[in-house]
Amino acid sequence: MFVLTIPQPLVPDDDGTCDAALASALAAFSAGTADATEVVAALSGARLLVPVVALLTSSEVGEHGLRQEKESEMALPKLVGKDGREAVLAFTGTESLRLWRPDARPIQAGTPQVCQAAAAEGAAAVVVDVAGPVPFVIEGGVLAAFAAVHSGTLDRLGPDSGVTVARMAQASEPAPAPRRRRFGWPLRGRD
């Protein structure tokens, strides 16, 4: 069973709309004017909504002869692909969550937190906005990197992870200005 601790809201006054930068990146990705790296960059600081749904655990026949709920549990659903791999669901806002399942309840989480929980569960991916408007899959090295950011283990990712970690150090001396190059090609249209 997938367990996610319900934290205090990331954004207390959250109205459930998709982050504007993320919506723009997803729209550009869908239109073919942006690549996945722009979506990943927008996801890195975005709030996502993880769905929780009620599962009936036991029922009983009521006084009118109808079956009724006796007990239920809250669960975090996962997708299972044709190849058996599992994916955790996340949504950019309440509208995309309702497109998938109107009765699901949202829990706020940052993208790294969702990816770390998915990795801890052994899921192969996080599927963002599975029912649209623009589905996006976080998997492989990107999933591992986001998970490592949340768990504080980014420095432990090995060379087989597909993730490159660059360390920036402050230079003791300023870098020299780049030299201007002159090319010997004639400029057309100039006399």
User: What's 143's DSSP letter?
Assistant: H
Structure-block tokens of residue 126: 């996080």
Q: What is the value of pTM for the model shown?
A: 0.71
| Residue range 91-104, pLDDT digits in tens | 999 999 999 999 99
Closest C-alpha among 107, 102, 124 to residue 115: 124
Asked if pLDDT for residue 53 goes beyond 70, the answer is yes
Structure-block tokens of residue 47: 């709030």
Domain ranges of the chain: 48-57+71-161
What type of residue sits at position 69? E
Q: At what angle do helices 20-31 and 36-43 cross, to 10 degrees?
A: 170
Q: How confident is the model at residue 187 (pLDDT cuts 50, 70, 90)?
A: very low
Closest C-alpha among 84, 101, 114, 87 to residue 7: 114
Looking up tokens 């655990």, which residue turns up?
A: 57
CA 131/CA 96 separation, integer angstroms: 7
